[in-house]
Homo-oligomer: A and B are copies of this chain.
Amino acid sequence: MVGTWEALVAVRYLSMDPTIRGWLERDTYLPRVEEGAVIRSLGVGQVVTSRSDRYTEGDLVSGMTGWQEWTIADDDQRQLQVPPQGTDPLDAVGLFGPTGLAAYFGLLEVGRPVAGETVLVSGAAGATGSVAGQIAKHRGCRVVGTAGSDDKCRTVVEEYGFDDCINYRTEEVRSRLRDVCSDGIDVFFDNVGGDILEAALSNLARHGRIVICGAISQYDGAEPRGPRNYTQLIIRRARMEGFLVFDHADRYPQAIADLGRWAAEGIVRHHVDVVNGFEQVPAAFCRLFTGDKIGKNAVKLDRDPDRQDDRGGRRPCG
Protein backbone atom coordinates (compact mmCIF):
# COMPACT_ATOMS: atom_id res chain seq x y z
CA MET A 1 0.00 0.00 0.00
CA VAL A 2 1.42 3.38 -1.00
CA GLY A 3 -0.30 6.64 -0.06
CA THR A 4 -0.72 9.74 -2.20
CA TRP A 5 2.60 11.33 -2.96
CA GLU A 6 3.30 14.65 -1.31
CA ALA A 7 6.92 15.55 -2.01
CA LEU A 8 9.93 14.51 -4.01
CA VAL A 9 13.03 14.40 -1.84
CA ALA A 10 16.69 14.30 -2.83
CA VAL A 11 18.40 12.17 -0.18
CA ARG A 12 21.56 13.75 1.15
CA TYR A 13 22.79 11.49 3.98
CA LEU A 14 22.04 7.88 4.79
CA SER A 15 22.30 6.69 8.38
CA MET A 16 24.15 3.41 8.94
CA ASP A 17 22.41 1.53 11.77
CA PRO A 18 23.06 -1.97 13.13
CA THR A 19 19.35 -2.61 13.53
CA ILE A 20 19.08 -2.80 9.72
CA ARG A 21 20.95 -6.10 10.00
CA GLY A 22 18.00 -7.58 11.85
CA TRP A 23 15.53 -6.19 9.34
CA LEU A 24 17.36 -7.98 6.54
CA GLU A 25 17.36 -11.32 8.27
CA ARG A 26 13.94 -11.84 9.78
CA ASP A 27 10.66 -10.32 10.90
CA THR A 28 11.43 -8.35 14.04
CA TYR A 29 9.47 -5.40 15.35
CA LEU A 30 9.14 -4.54 11.65
CA PRO A 31 8.62 -6.95 8.77
CA ARG A 32 11.71 -8.36 7.12
CA VAL A 33 13.02 -6.44 4.09
CA GLU A 34 12.40 -8.74 1.17
CA GLU A 35 15.11 -9.47 -1.37
CA GLY A 36 14.95 -6.97 -4.19
CA ALA A 37 13.16 -4.31 -2.12
CA VAL A 38 14.77 -0.99 -1.21
CA ILE A 39 16.59 -1.42 2.09
CA ARG A 40 14.75 0.37 4.89
CA SER A 41 16.91 3.08 6.44
CA LEU A 42 16.92 6.46 8.06
CA GLY A 43 18.05 9.24 5.78
CA VAL A 44 18.08 12.99 5.56
CA GLY A 45 17.29 14.92 2.43
CA GLN A 46 15.95 18.05 0.91
CA VAL A 47 12.53 18.66 -0.58
CA VAL A 48 12.79 19.28 -4.31
CA THR A 49 9.09 19.47 -5.16
CA SER A 50 6.13 19.55 -2.83
CA ARG A 51 2.41 19.38 -3.37
CA SER A 52 1.50 19.24 0.31
CA ASP A 53 1.26 21.83 3.10
CA ARG A 54 3.53 19.61 5.14
CA TYR A 55 6.64 20.31 3.06
CA THR A 56 8.15 23.41 1.45
CA GLU A 57 10.69 23.27 -1.34
CA GLY A 58 14.19 23.38 0.18
CA ASP A 59 13.09 21.93 3.54
CA LEU A 60 15.46 19.59 5.31
CA VAL A 61 13.53 16.37 5.99
CA SER A 62 14.41 13.18 7.82
CA GLY A 63 12.85 9.76 8.06
CA MET A 64 12.77 6.38 6.46
CA THR A 65 14.09 7.33 3.05
CA GLY A 66 15.58 3.91 2.41
CA TRP A 67 18.92 3.31 0.77
CA GLN A 68 18.19 5.33 -2.37
CA GLU A 69 19.08 8.69 -3.81
CA TRP A 70 15.54 9.92 -4.32
CA THR A 71 12.46 9.26 -2.32
CA ILE A 72 8.81 10.18 -2.34
CA ALA A 73 7.14 11.38 0.84
CA ASP A 74 3.55 10.23 0.95
CA ASP A 75 0.63 10.67 3.32
CA ASP A 76 0.73 7.09 4.53
CA GLN A 77 3.74 4.83 5.09
CA ARG A 78 6.47 7.28 4.25
CA GLN A 79 5.87 10.50 6.12
CA LEU A 80 9.04 12.47 6.71
CA GLN A 81 9.76 14.86 9.56
CA VAL A 82 10.85 18.46 9.18
CA PRO A 83 13.45 19.17 11.90
CA PRO A 84 13.56 22.65 13.45
CA GLN A 85 14.93 25.43 11.23
CA GLY A 86 18.71 25.52 11.31
CA THR A 87 19.24 21.86 12.22
CA ASP A 88 22.53 20.51 10.93
CA PRO A 89 21.72 17.60 8.59
CA LEU A 90 24.36 15.47 10.33
CA ASP A 91 22.64 16.04 13.66
CA ALA A 92 19.38 14.99 12.05
CA VAL A 93 21.05 11.68 11.13
CA GLY A 94 23.00 11.17 14.33
CA LEU A 95 22.26 12.96 17.55
CA PHE A 96 18.58 13.48 16.73
CA GLY A 97 18.27 10.20 14.83
CA PRO A 98 17.48 6.80 16.33
CA THR A 99 21.02 6.28 17.67
CA GLY A 100 21.06 9.51 19.69
CA LEU A 101 17.45 9.11 20.72
CA ALA A 102 18.10 5.51 21.81
CA ALA A 103 20.80 6.81 24.15
CA TYR A 104 18.42 9.40 25.54
CA PHE A 105 15.36 7.21 26.11
CA GLY A 106 17.23 4.01 26.93
CA LEU A 107 19.34 5.64 29.58
CA LEU A 108 16.81 8.02 31.09
CA GLU A 109 13.58 6.00 30.77
CA VAL A 110 14.82 2.43 31.16
CA GLY A 111 18.09 2.73 33.08
CA ARG A 112 17.04 5.72 35.19
CA PRO A 113 20.43 6.46 36.75
CA VAL A 114 20.60 8.82 39.67
CA ALA A 115 23.51 11.01 40.69
CA GLY A 116 26.28 9.09 42.38
CA GLU A 117 25.45 5.78 40.73
CA THR A 118 27.89 3.85 38.55
CA VAL A 119 26.94 3.45 34.90
CA LEU A 120 28.66 1.06 32.51
CA VAL A 121 28.26 1.56 28.75
CA SER A 122 29.39 -1.02 26.19
CA GLY A 123 30.19 0.15 22.69
CA ALA A 124 31.17 3.39 24.40
CA ALA A 125 32.83 4.84 21.31
CA GLY A 126 29.76 4.19 19.20
CA ALA A 127 26.95 6.45 18.08
CA THR A 128 24.62 5.46 20.90
CA GLY A 129 27.07 4.49 23.64
CA SER A 130 29.04 7.73 23.47
CA VAL A 131 25.87 9.78 23.90
CA ALA A 132 24.45 7.53 26.66
CA GLY A 133 27.65 7.88 28.68
CA GLN A 134 27.78 11.63 28.33
CA ILE A 135 24.16 11.98 29.45
CA ALA A 136 24.95 9.80 32.46
CA LYS A 137 27.96 11.98 33.30
CA HIS A 138 25.72 15.05 33.02
CA ARG A 139 23.38 13.36 35.49
CA GLY A 140 26.18 13.10 38.03
CA CYS A 141 27.06 9.44 37.60
CA ARG A 142 30.43 7.76 37.54
CA VAL A 143 30.66 6.38 33.99
CA VAL A 144 32.81 3.54 32.67
CA GLY A 145 32.89 2.39 29.06
CA THR A 146 34.09 -0.59 27.07
CA ALA A 147 35.49 -0.26 23.56
CA GLY A 148 37.59 -2.30 21.15
CA SER A 149 40.89 -0.41 20.89
CA ASP A 150 43.17 1.83 22.91
CA ASP A 151 42.45 4.65 20.47
CA LYS A 152 38.74 4.34 21.07
CA CYS A 153 39.24 4.18 24.82
CA ARG A 154 41.28 7.36 24.64
CA THR A 155 38.48 9.09 22.74
CA VAL A 156 35.90 7.79 25.21
CA VAL A 157 37.79 9.23 28.16
CA GLU A 158 39.33 12.37 26.67
CA GLU A 159 36.62 13.44 24.24
CA TYR A 160 33.47 12.03 25.80
CA GLY A 161 34.55 12.50 29.41
CA PHE A 162 33.98 8.96 30.71
CA ASP A 163 35.78 8.23 33.99
CA ASP A 164 37.36 5.07 32.63
CA CYS A 165 37.29 2.82 29.59
CA ILE A 166 38.17 -0.88 29.27
CA ASN A 167 39.64 -2.24 26.03
CA TYR A 168 37.76 -5.53 25.84
CA ARG A 169 40.15 -6.91 23.24
CA THR A 170 43.25 -6.65 25.41
CA GLU A 171 41.91 -6.52 28.99
CA GLU A 172 40.08 -9.06 31.14
CA VAL A 173 36.74 -7.25 31.40
CA ARG A 174 35.31 -9.14 34.38
CA SER A 175 38.23 -8.53 36.71
CA ARG A 176 38.77 -4.97 35.47
CA LEU A 177 35.10 -4.26 36.24
CA ARG A 178 35.61 -5.61 39.74
CA ASP A 179 38.34 -3.00 40.18
CA VAL A 180 36.84 0.04 38.49
CA CYS A 181 33.23 -0.59 39.63
CA SER A 182 34.05 -1.85 43.08
CA ASP A 183 30.63 -0.89 44.46
CA GLY A 184 28.92 -2.67 41.59
CA ILE A 185 27.28 -1.46 38.38
CA ASP A 186 23.98 0.28 38.97
CA VAL A 187 23.08 0.74 35.32
CA PHE A 188 24.54 -1.18 32.40
CA PHE A 189 23.67 0.28 29.00
CA ASP A 190 24.43 -2.63 26.69
CA ASN A 191 24.96 -2.38 22.95
CA VAL A 192 27.10 -5.48 22.66
CA GLY A 193 25.98 -8.64 24.53
CA GLY A 194 28.16 -11.76 24.80
CA ASP A 195 31.12 -11.80 27.20
CA ILE A 196 30.67 -8.18 28.24
CA LEU A 197 27.06 -8.76 29.26
CA GLU A 198 28.13 -11.74 31.37
CA ALA A 199 30.94 -9.75 32.95
CA ALA A 200 28.51 -6.95 33.80
CA LEU A 201 25.96 -9.39 35.30
CA SER A 202 28.70 -10.71 37.59
CA ASN A 203 29.46 -7.18 38.74
CA LEU A 204 25.96 -5.78 39.06
CA ALA A 205 24.99 -3.84 42.14
CA ARG A 206 21.89 -4.79 44.08
CA HIS A 207 18.81 -3.49 42.21
CA GLY A 208 20.96 -3.00 39.10
CA ARG A 209 19.33 -2.29 35.75
CA ILE A 210 20.55 -3.61 32.42
CA VAL A 211 19.29 -1.69 29.42
CA ILE A 212 19.32 -3.95 26.38
CA CYS A 213 19.79 -1.51 23.52
CA GLY A 214 21.52 -3.88 21.13
CA ALA A 215 23.72 -6.96 20.94
CA ILE A 216 26.18 -6.28 18.17
CA SER A 217 28.43 -9.19 19.19
CA GLN A 218 25.53 -11.52 18.43
CA TYR A 219 24.62 -10.40 14.92
CA ASP A 220 27.49 -12.22 13.26
CA GLY A 221 28.60 -15.79 13.76
CA ALA A 222 26.87 -19.07 14.24
CA GLU A 223 24.71 -19.68 17.27
CA PRO A 224 23.70 -16.63 19.34
CA ARG A 225 24.59 -16.94 23.01
CA GLY A 226 22.52 -15.98 26.00
CA PRO A 227 24.05 -14.71 29.22
CA ARG A 228 24.86 -17.96 31.05
CA ASN A 229 24.82 -16.20 34.41
CA TYR A 230 21.44 -14.53 33.99
CA THR A 231 20.37 -15.90 37.38
CA GLN A 232 22.59 -13.17 38.81
CA LEU A 233 19.39 -11.17 38.26
CA ILE A 234 17.97 -13.09 41.24
CA ILE A 235 20.97 -12.65 43.51
CA ARG A 236 21.26 -8.94 42.61
CA ARG A 237 17.47 -8.32 42.60
CA ALA A 238 18.11 -6.80 39.22
CA ARG A 239 16.32 -6.35 35.93
CA MET A 240 17.19 -6.55 32.26
CA GLU A 241 14.96 -4.61 29.95
CA GLY A 242 14.67 -3.95 26.24
CA PHE A 243 13.16 -0.97 24.48
CA LEU A 244 12.60 0.51 21.06
CA VAL A 245 13.14 4.16 20.46
CA PHE A 246 10.12 4.37 18.15
CA ASP A 247 7.79 3.80 21.11
CA HIS A 248 8.82 7.18 22.46
CA ALA A 249 7.98 9.14 19.30
CA ASP A 250 5.57 11.44 21.12
CA ARG A 251 8.49 12.70 23.19
CA TYR A 252 11.01 13.18 20.38
CA PRO A 253 10.59 16.98 20.44
CA GLN A 254 11.58 17.12 24.10
CA ALA A 255 14.51 14.77 23.53
CA ILE A 256 15.74 16.74 20.52
CA ALA A 257 15.46 19.99 22.46
CA ASP A 258 17.49 18.53 25.35
CA LEU A 259 20.11 16.92 23.12
CA GLY A 260 20.41 20.08 21.02
CA ARG A 261 20.92 22.22 24.12
CA TRP A 262 23.48 19.81 25.58
CA ALA A 263 25.35 19.74 22.26
CA ALA A 264 25.36 23.54 22.09
CA GLU A 265 26.67 23.73 25.65
CA GLY A 266 29.41 21.19 24.95
CA ILE A 267 27.90 18.71 27.41
CA VAL A 268 27.31 16.10 24.74
CA ARG A 269 29.76 15.71 21.89
CA HIS A 270 28.80 13.68 18.90
CA HIS A 271 30.93 12.45 16.08
CA VAL A 272 29.68 11.46 12.64
CA ASP A 273 32.04 9.58 10.37
CA VAL A 274 30.96 10.52 6.85
CA VAL A 275 32.04 8.80 3.68
CA ASN A 276 31.07 10.04 0.24
CA GLY A 277 29.17 8.27 -2.46
CA PHE A 278 26.28 5.84 -2.69
CA GLU A 279 28.70 3.09 -3.72
CA GLN A 280 30.27 3.38 -0.23
CA VAL A 281 27.09 2.23 1.50
CA PRO A 282 27.90 -1.50 1.76
CA ALA A 283 31.40 -0.88 3.14
CA ALA A 284 30.19 1.78 5.59
CA PHE A 285 27.44 -0.54 6.79
CA CYS A 286 29.82 -3.45 7.26
CA ARG A 287 32.15 -1.31 9.34
CA LEU A 288 29.40 -1.19 11.99
CA PHE A 289 30.12 -4.84 12.70
CA THR A 290 33.90 -4.91 12.52
CA GLY A 291 34.26 -2.27 15.22
CA ASP A 292 36.31 -0.11 12.89
CA LYS A 293 34.66 3.25 13.68
CA ILE A 294 34.04 5.92 16.27
CA GLY A 295 30.64 7.54 16.63
CA LYS A 296 28.02 7.41 13.96
CA ASN A 297 28.53 6.15 10.40
CA ALA A 298 26.80 8.05 7.63
CA VAL A 299 27.10 8.10 3.88
CA LYS A 300 26.85 11.37 1.98
CA LEU A 301 25.27 11.16 -1.42
CA ASP A 302 27.52 13.62 -3.19
CA ARG A 303 25.73 14.46 -6.36
CA ASP A 304 27.52 16.44 -8.97
CA PRO A 305 25.55 19.71 -8.95
CA ASP A 306 26.24 20.39 -12.64
CA ARG A 307 24.70 17.24 -14.01
CA GLN A 308 21.24 15.84 -14.21
CA ASP A 309 21.16 12.17 -14.94
CA ASP A 310 18.07 10.26 -13.99
CA ARG A 311 19.61 6.82 -14.40
CA GLY A 312 22.41 7.69 -12.04
CA GLY A 313 20.04 9.59 -9.83
CA ARG A 314 22.18 12.71 -10.04
CA ARG A 315 20.63 16.12 -9.58
CA PRO A 316 21.41 19.31 -7.66
CA CYS A 317 20.74 19.05 -3.92
CA GLY A 318 21.65 22.28 -2.15
Binding site for B on A (CB under 8 A): 28-29, 193, 198, 212-215, 218, 223-244, 247
Contact = CB atoms under 8 A, between A and B. Distances in A.
Contacts of A228: 223-226
Given A238-B241, A241-B239, A241-B240, A229 B231 contact: no
Contacts of A239: 239-242
A233 B238 contact: no
A212 B227 contact: no
A28 B235 contact: yes
A226 B230 contact: yes
Secondary structure of the A contact surface, majority rule: loop
A169 to B, nearest CB: 22
Contacts of A218: 231
A80 to B, nearest CB: 25
Contacts of A225: 226, 228
A240 to B, nearest CB: 5
A224 B232 CA distance: 12
Contacts of A29: 234-235
Contacts of A229: 224, 226
A178 to B, nearest CB: 14
B242 A231 contact: yes
A242 B233 contact: yes
A158 to B, nearest CB: 31
Top 8 A-B pairs ranked by shortest CB distance?
A: A226-B226, A233-B242, A234-B242, A239-B241, A226-B227, A226-B228, A240-B240, A29-B235
6 contacts: A214-B234, A215-B234, A225-B226, A233-B240, A234-B244, A239-B239
A243 B235 CA distance: 7
B235 A242 contact: yes
A234 B243 contact: yes
Given A28-B235, A29-B235, A235-B28, A230 B212 contact: yes
